[in-house]
Amino acid sequence: MPVYSNLADQTKTFPAGVVVADFNKDLNPDLAVAATVNGNGKAIILSGDGAGGFGAPSEFSAGISPTRIVAGDFDHDGTGNLDLVVTNRLTNKVSLLLGNGDGSFNAPSPFNVGDDPNRTYDPIALASGDFNNDNFLDLAVADNASSTVSVLLNSASGGFGAPTLLIVGLQPYSVGLQDFSGDGKPDLIVPNFRDNSVSVYLGTGSDLFGPASLGLTGRNPVASATEDFNADGKPDLVIVNRSANSLSLLIGQ
């Protein structure tokens, strides 16, 4: 049974993504939920009490149709306040919400994905990491409709630069990070829903990402996880195949 389930008006609230972090600096883990509430995009904050409970939800504007959400110090302003970024599926954008360190957030700042304003990209998922070794958090956004990943480098001034596009398989559904090559640089993992594949881009730390490799999965892969399952010191990859009712295990080399 759920210990806690209330997200405002449950009949009109549609949660789509969640991230855990300490947003109010009380050393207790909190929740940030990307949701649509009464037709409006929101980031819903549930402050943890450290005993398994949460306070009343607080809502902050998060653009149109937010689906996935990540947390981090994206503006690197020295306060240690955590910020949020959400994907906005219907607008070809992601939104940055700068945190105030007390569990509240400022109005969203939108940033484009893709490189053609007349094309539909449908940003469905995202991950954050330092891709170019400058100590600032960047974004990798899976563009479901265009079969691309938009890489947005942190501008070091509270925003993101113009996206660089990586070609992946058909209908990328999620994006993850892992260091497969052992060089300390994050690599991209992208399950591709329509062509039953997973794209892996190795990070270079300076020139973004090297050439992609493509692995076969079961039918309609949607998510991934990594761990060293055979104790050889190398991360392996598990893919969730929605329509095949299966998992694919790819052993790291």
What is the set of domains in the chain, with CATH numbers? 113-250 (2.130.10.10)
Cα-only R_g, the chain: 18
Q: Mean pLDDT per 10-residue run, the chain (253 residues)?
A: 56 88 98 94 96 95 96 92 96 96 98 93 96 94 97 91 95 96 93 96 86 90 95 94 93 86
Side-chain-side CA neighbours of residue 25 (13 Å): 10
pLDDT, residue 8, reads 58
pLDDT, residue 2, reads 53
Secondary element (H or E) of residue 6? none
pLDDT, residue 9, reads 59
pLDDT, residue 252, reads 87
pTM of the model: 0.92
pLDDT, residue 5, reads 55
Nearest partner of 137 among 61, 66, 71, judged by Cα = 71
pLDDT, residue 205, reads 86
